[in-house]
Structure 1
Amino acid sequence: MIEAVRRADNEDLAQLSALAAMAVGEQAEARGGHVWSNREAISIPADSVLASCLGDPEALLLVGTIDDAVVGYARARIEGLRNGERLGVINDIFVMENAREVGVGELLIETVVAWAVERGCSGVDATVLPGNRQAKNFFETAHFTARAIIVHHRLVDGGVHAGDDVGTDGETSYR
């Protein structure tokens, strides 16, 4: 089994769009996923967003493969900070469930980090939804640490959503 990463090209776009839909679908119902999937996540269908990365020198679109079969992807960009520093931002990183924990995700993230270093970035950011321990552990293994927590108060039905889960400890879990 040979794991590899390469830059995406036009011929990959349909497959990557399908992977993007899988990635968003996997997270949309998770804790925090409702707002994330409607705000930060890639728009589905993703074809035009993915295609725009191909000719953009400030964007990176990668394909992760096992034995030349596409099983994952990463999409990243460079952002300028107010102090003049540059920040790498991982917009998407996804590996199909049956291809996880064999090294494709690690190759994707290592390639993104190396790309950010080459472009003079001072760091790399990525988003992990609360409760996604597998993703949190993946990023921590790659030496990422939390630098912010986004909190949210859902305002539906007078501030209380009928679907909120209130645990026995009194804590409320919001989508």
Structure 2
Amino acid sequence: MTVTIRPARPGDEAAILRMVVALAVYEREPDAVKATEDSLRATLFGENAQVFAHIAELDGAPVGLALWFLTYSTWTGRPSLYLEDLFVAESARGTGAGRALLTALAKEARARGCARMDWAVLDWNEKAREFYRHIGAHHSKGWEPWRIEGEALERLAAG
């Protein structure tokens, strides 16, 4: 079994969507996914794309996904790589695919001059937290995630 990592490319939309849905199921939000192959194509591969992805393949079959974008830190004066989703199919866990995806992103971050990589982890996902600690990541204390969406976002946008 050989794990390879490559940037996502047009034609990967169905595999990416499959993994996004599988991640949503794992995260106990099976009905939350509104993305489509068309929306993924537009955001990942359209003109001026701001969202990127890497695919992990095991013997040529897609088994993992790291979907990311750049943010900016005014404190460091440099960009940061934000990992939106990391997913490895259950059948491929333990093969090194997750670590290989994060290694590829670390190289991407370094090549882009990023000061750091950030991501969020569900508080109940102890396996993921353990994995991240194992690679040297740490939980950022003091900062809480906040979000505005749906009707509240529409109200705010309307002024």
TM-score higher than 0.5 here?
yes
* Contact 1:59-1:75 within 8 A present in 2 as well: yes
Superposed CA offset, 1:27-70 (max 9, x none): 035xxxx9xx96xxxx4334345321235565421111110011
Aligned pair partner of 1:95 in 69, 88, 99: 88
Which residue is equivalent to 1:47?
37
Aligned pair partner of 2:134 in 110, 127, 141: 141
The structure with higher relative contact order (CA 8 Å, sep 6+) is 1
Q: Which amino acid aligns with 1:50?
A: L
Which residue is equivalent to 1:168?
none
* Contact 1:21-1:46 within 8 A present in 2 as well: no
Aligned residues: 142
The alignment's TM-score, normalised by the length of structure 1, stands at 0.72
- What pairs up with 1:20-169 in 2 under 5 angstroms? 20-28=20-28, 43-51=33-41, 52-55=43-46, 56=48, 58-83=50-75, 84-148=77-141, 150=144
**What RMSD over aligned residues (CA atoms) do the two structures have, in Å?**
2.4
In structure 2, do the counterparts of structure 1 residues 102 and 130 end up closer, same or farther at CA, with 3 Å as the change threshold?
A: same
Q: In 1, distance between residues paired with 2:57 and 2:74?
A: 37
The alignment's TM-score, normalised by the length of structure 2, stands at 0.79
Q: Percent identity?
A: 23
Mind listing any 5+ residue stretches in structure 1 that lack a counterpart?
153-175
